[in-house]
Amino acid sequence: MLARGLTRISVLSASLATTVSVGTAFAADYFYMHAPVGCFVRSGTVNGDFGALQNTGSTRADIECPITTNSCDVIDNGSVVTVKDRHSQQNVECTLFDVKLSGSQFLILTEGKASSGNSANWQKLNYTLELTPNQFDQHLFMSCFIPPVGSGNSYLGNYMIALDDLCI
């Protein structure tokens, strides 16, 4: 049973994966599509708009989003975040985080991406980061900064996480 707002997209082969409309061929076993409605707004003025989050304020919004996996999953090359950037001087920025407790230290793996500038079209941020299996002492999440209102509202859309299942 999947949590509300998640869709599991099974991929049978790399050739079938290329039919997934995300612009890259993948070797992942499956993808979890997350809607940003489950994200936590740390700062800024953010409203929902047909399942996406938009910044309607005059300052940059800081958002954290969960990444849901099971204990056998490894995040694989091919994760995608959709954004709309309507600010002429600031980009939408999103970073994937893998925070794991190792003894008394935190090991942090990250990969950050940014939109390519002001556009009325949705943009895809493509990630190549491969993360270790999810464990009880590990926390996976995404952090995004959405610029303030520019020539329109900037958005965070769905984010699709590519996963390999080590238990199958």
| Domain edges within the chain | 6-162
Give the model's pLDDT for residue 110: 80
Q: From the first residue on, what is the mean pLDDT of each consecutive set of 10 residues in the chain (168 residues)?
A: 39 29 51 85 93 95 86 75 95 87 69 93 90 62 94 94 74
Q: Residue 9 forms beta bridges with which residues?
A: 31
What's the pLDDT score for residue 157?
A: 95
pLDDT of residue 19: 26
CATH architecture under which domain 6-162 falls: Sandwich (2.60)
Q: What's the pLDDT score for residue 138?
A: 67
E strand segments, 37-153:
40-43, 46-49, 52-55, 61-66, 73-75, 80-84, 93-102, 105-114, 123-126, 138-146
Task: Name the pTM for this structure.
Answer: 0.76
Contact 112, 93 (CB under 8 A): yes
CB atoms within 10 A of CB 24: 16
